[in-house]
């Protein structure tokens, strides 16, 4: 039984690591969007970042990706904690 739980914990740890990788593009999109909106002082890093619709799209896409990845990670971490408690 303990061996089965250990295998399941290893699978969950891998899924959690991949969840962090899935979250990364959302963080980058949000960061670039916020920088372009508030920190560029009229000198965008890329010409596309001068367009307000592109910037708002980056912010929106980044938030959506981060929320979806966060929900998935929260479920995985909760499941992992339950298995750890079962294991003792």
pLDDT of residue 43: 87
pLDDT in tens, 5-60: 899 999 999 999 999 899 999 999 999 999 999 998 878 899 999 999 999 999 99
**Number of continuous H segments (helices) and E segments (strands) in the chain:** 2, 0
For residues 30 and 62, give the distance between their C-alpha atoms in angstroms, rounded to a whole number. 5
Pairwise CA distance, residues 50 & 54, whole Å: 8
Domain count, the chain: 1
For residue 38, the enclosing domain spans 2-87
What is the reported pTM? 0.85
How far apart CA 3 and CA 21 sit, in angstroms, is 28
Is pLDDT of 1 > 80? no
């Amino acid at each position: 039984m303990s061996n089965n739980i250990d295998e399941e914990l290893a699978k969950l740890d891998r899924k959690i690591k991949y969840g962090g990788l899935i979250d990364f593009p959302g963080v980058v999109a949000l960061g670039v969007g916020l920088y372009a909106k508030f920190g560029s002082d009229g000198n965008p890093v890329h010409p596309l970042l001068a367009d307000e619709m592109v910037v708002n799209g980056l912010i929106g896409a980044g938030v959506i990706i981060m929320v979806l990845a966060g929900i998935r990670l929260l479920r995985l971490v909760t499941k992992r904690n339950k298995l750890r408690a079962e294991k003792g």
